[in-house]
Structures are given as structure tokens and as C-alpha cells.
Amino acid sequence: MLAQITYAIPFLIPGLLVTLEVSVITVVIATAIGVLLGVGLIYGPAPLRWVIRGFSDIIRGIPILVLLFFVYYGLPLTGLNLQPFAAAVLGLIVFKVAQVIENVRGAIGSIPKGQMDAAKSIGLPFPERLAYVIAPQALRRFLPPWLNGVTDAVKGSALISLLGVGDLMFDIQKVVGRTYSPLTLYCFGAFLYFLINYALSLGSRALERRFSYIRD
């Protein structure tokens, strides 16, 4: 069994790197967009709020796989023909943006309303209220669930092998095809995914502990 694993490792490394690459790109872009939309969902004018609310509800109600197939097989019919990698990243970003929107909503929503009142009363304009009063408080409530949610992006990325992207899952299947040892290799693959995600949840827990000393 150990021999099977040591044989497989060199073939899995490129896929592992692709999985990490896709995850990082997805999380970075989705976080930037999701934070903006999340702020829009809370403080934006009503029509903007409705659009963002609708987007988030719809996306969170769709399985990631459906989202990925829609982007890869559906969008070409509208003239947008994406390469597998781009389609995969786009699908995952859309999925992740919806999650980040909810992380932001939860974080800002948990701040007592009096904080905004107090920030207004000393004469801070909206951007400054956000930057100096709301954001620092929201950040510590945002980070733990957000980091926890990054694991969803990593796990969800296993599905992009179905679009033919050479990620970790894709490479595992290739090696399984050659060696006929699915039990060992899927276990080892699961272990690799677990390692990445366990590190993330340890980080999330550490952040929670770090911020817990601030009471309201």
C-alpha cells in the first residue's frame, strides 16, 4: 500500500498545485467582490439590495456542480466560450461570492445599531464610519466563518476535474486508472484534501480565540 502511495505522489503533485491555485484565485477574487456586494446588501439603496439578495439566494440554492456545468456547457450558447480552467474558476467564484456576501452580512449585522449612531453623532461621514468603526468590529466576526468557508471552495474545487481541469482529483483518477488501486488512492486523496482543510479550520479556531477577548 505504501508502495502504491509513493508511486502515486509524483503524479499527484501537479494536480495538487492546480487545486491550490484554483482555490487561492477563487477565494481572493470572490472575497473582494463578496465584501463589496455584502456592504451593498446592507447599506445600498433598495433596488441594489434586492438584486444582491436575489443573487445570493439563488446561487446558494444551486449545487456547485450545476453551476460549473452551466458556466462550461451553458454559457457557450450565449456566445461566451470559456476554457475549462477559466470556466471552473468562474463557477467557483460565483459560488464563493454568495457565501462571502452572507459572511459580511452576518458580521456587520451583529454589530449593535448604536455603533453607527455614535459614529454619526461625532460627525464621521459614511466611508469613515465604515472604515474606523464598523470594519474593525466586523472583521473579527467575519474572519472565522470566512476562513471556515474557504474549505468549501477547496472541497468544491474537486468537481472541476469533471470539466477536464487537471486538479488533484483529476490526477488521482488518472493514477487509479493505471494502478487499479482505488481504495488506497482515494483514501490518500481524501487525506490530502483533509490536510488542507484541517489547517484552515485550525486557523479559523485560532482567530476565534484571538478575538474572543473583546467583549461588547
Choose, by CB under 8 A, the member of 126, 191, 194, 198 that binds another protein: 126
- Beta carbon nearer to another protein, 2 or 215: 215
Tell me which residues in 53-72 interact with another protein (CB under 8 A): none
Residue 117 near another protein by CB under 8 A: yes
Under the binding rule (CB under 8 A), the answer on residue 79 touching another protein is: no
Using rule CB under 8 A, residue 45 touches another protein: no
Applying CB under 8 A, the span of 21-29, 102-110, 151-159, 208-216 interacting with another protein comes to 208-216
Enumerate residues 6+ apart whose C-beta is below 8 A from 58: none
Closest to another protein by CB, 158 vs 207, is 207
Write the secondary structure of the chain as one string of H (helix), E (strand) and C (coil).
Answer: CHHHHHHHHHHHHHHHHHHHHHHHHHHHHHHHHHHHHHHHHHHCCHHHHHHHHHHHHHHHCCCHHHHHHHHHHHHHHHCCCCCHHHHHHHHHHHHHHHHHHHHHHHHHHCCCHHHHHHHHHCCCCHHHHHHHHHHHHHHHHHHHHHHHHHHHHHHHHHHHHHHCCCCHHHHHHHHHHHHCCHHHHHHHHHHHHHHHHHHHHHHHHHHHHHHCCCCC
Query: C-beta of 141: minimal distance to another protein in Å?
Result: 11
- C-alpha 10/C-alpha 19 separation (Å) is 15
- 114 scored as a contact of another protein (CB under 8 A): yes
Stretch that binds another protein, among 34-42, 52-60, 77-85, 117-125 (CB under 8 A): 117-125
Considering only residues 128-147, where is the footprint of another protein by CB under 8 A? 128, 132-133, 136-137
Q: Is 46 in the site for another protein (CB under 8 A)?
A: no
Quick check: 177 binds another protein (CB under 8 A)? no
Which 93-112 residues touch another protein, going by CB under 8 A?
112
Binding site for another protein (CB under 8 A): 112, 114-115, 117-126, 128, 132-133, 136-137, 214-216
